[in-house]
Amino acid sequence: NNIVAIVGRPNVGKSTFFNRLIQRRDAIVDSVSGVTRDRNYGKSEWNGKEFSVIDTGGYIKGSEDIFESEIRRQVELAIDESDAILFVVDVEEGITPMDDEVAKRLRKVTKPVLLVVNKVDNAKRENDALEFYNLGLGEYFTISGMSGSGTGDLLDKLVEVLPELPPINENPEELPRFAVVGRPNAGKSSFINALIGEDRFVVTDIAGTTRDAIDTKYNRFGFEFNLVDTAGIRRKAKVKEDLEFYSVMRSVRAIEHADVCILVIDATRGFEGQDQSIFWLAEKNRKGIVILVNKWDLVEKGTMTSVDYERKIREEIAPFTDVPILFVSALTKQRLLKALETAVHVFESRKNRIATSKFNEVMLPIIESNPPPALKGKYVKIKYCMQLPTKTPQFVFFANLPQYVKDPYKRFIENKLREIYDFEGVPIDIYFRQK
Ligand code: GDP
């Protein structure tokens, strides 16, 4: 997918606008999982073209008083990592010095930049918007994030200017594609180096290209796989990038490209906000997930056991707790083979296909003895179920009153499915439909 970044000062209405862009898609995802996570990343579609949207501002809490330097860094990263930039300004405020500065930077960018003038709710405001020609970015789009007016024209233009992505590398053997993701300094490159050797990640950076999340084929310990090469790993962090935003922004492309995400966390820091964001990013994209607790060699035995550690992580990732968690050390090469094996296993499980007749034989008796609770005196009857022929595991249950099936029951079914079949590390979808 193309990645579109929304940039701009705090309070210009970026998140309202963002929500409008991703609205429909997210409503679907969230009704399935029953939880809302990560309000800063989502998928959108217009005229049949799908793209990912990132609200750069959303990652900063208390963003009213965020430092200008922070905005600058956001803009730089958006320029680095996205395919198109939506620069949002506020007609009520007019052009601020910060807007001027951002515009100056964006004028030098060769990627598509669309200037979005927000809060244009009436004709007078249309008129006020004229001053934004002074930003030197050419034509602008006036919208009202509140009412949604103007977004259609803007999206028409956006999908028109989005670049064609290079074709995905051919993968005729259907080898697993793994992406090693995680916050800076978690040990991603060390892990990769330990696994496949030092030289791999010393590669030339082609200036200005960001569409370089490509994969390379490897054969290690008897496993063949493709490793998605991410800019975030190669371009060693020059600044302290402690904000969630940076990890997420640098992981999106790799995650979207992968089948299984190997999430490396730093054992000495725990499973923090950034780790969680990346986790949910992978989950939202329905990718397989393996969590590696790296630098386990640094954790003094006795202070914290792996059991405690694991429990804590599982609390954070609930309700999707059925994920492999391994304690590794890239330094001492402890359990690296196991990590690779697990990732391959998750890849295979994600491709599990359960025959419909068997599936009904197994699931219907379970449903019969634990039916969905009656609602308003009406009973839900589930007659038939099947796995859909989709890329990631999705299951549909046909019922007389599907709208009466609530999230707790969906979760019950999901848990049963996970007990019976092996979907460890694999997000699954469950739907109830009218027969
Ligand atoms: P990246 O930013 O995620 O790619 O992290 P790096 O691979 O560059 O590692 C960051 C730092 O952690 C480096 O100083 C590594 O030497 C160190 N490191 C990585 N893995 C381990 C490990 O398993 N144990 C210890 N003790 N240090 C590690």
In whole angstroms, give the CA distance from residue 233 to residue 191.
11
Q: Please report the ipTM that was assigned to this predicted complex.
A: 0.95
pLDDT per position as a tens digit, 109-160: 999 999 999 999 988 999 999 999 999 999 999 999 888 899 999 999 999 9
329-333 contacts at long range (C-beta below 8 A, 24 or more positions apart): 329/294, 329/295, 329/296, 329/297, 330/187, 330/190, 330/191, 330/193, 330/194, 330/294, 330/295, 331/190, 331/194, 331/295, 331/297, 332/297, 333/194
Give the residue whose CA is nearest to atom 18 of ligand 1.
187
Determine whether the shortest distance from the Cβ of 184 to ligand 1 is under 6 A: yes
Specify the residue with its C-alpha closest to ligand 1, atom 16.
190
What separation in Å is there between the alpha carbon of 186 and the centre of ligand 1?
Answer: 6
Give which of 261, 272, 257 is closest to 312, Cα–Cα: 272
Q: What is the 217 CA–ligand 1 centroid distance (Å)?
A: 24
**Which pTM value belongs to this model?**
0.80
So what's the pLDDT on residue 63?
A: 46
Among the atoms of ligand 1, which is closest to the Cα of residue 330? 23
Q: What pLDDT was estimated at residue 209?
A: 37
Residue 235, ligand 1, Cβ within 6 A: no
Ligand 1 neighbour 232 (Cβ under 6 A):
no
Whether residue 233 has its Cβ less than 6 Å from ligand 1: yes
Indicate whether residue 182 lines ligand 1 (CB < 6 A): yes
Q: Which residues in the chain land under pLDDT 70?
A: 23-39, 58-67, 166-172, 198-214, 229-247, 303
pLDDT of the residue at 212: 47
Ligand 1 near 187 CB (within 6 A)? yes
Q: Binding-site residues for GTP, please?
A: 8-15, 55-59, 118-121, 182-189, 229-233, 294-297
What per-residue confidence (pLDDT) applies to 72? 81
pLDDT for 68: 74
User: Nearest C-alpha to atom 9 of ligand 1 is from which residue?
Assistant: 187
In this prediction, residue 274 carries a pLDDT of 84
Out of 180, 183, 185, mutate this one to test ligand 1's pocket (max ligand atoms within 8 Å of CB): namely: 185
Mutational test site, ligand 1, from 190, 240, 300, max ligand atoms within 8 Å of CB? 190
What is the residue with the minimal CA distance to atom 26 of ligand 1? 295
Name every residue whose Cβ is closer than 8 Å to that of residue 192 and which is 6 or more positions away in sequence: 180, 200, 201, 227, 233
Whether ligand 1 lies within 6 angstroms of the CB of 269 is answered as no
Is 112 touching ligand 1 by the criterion CB < 6 Å?
A: no
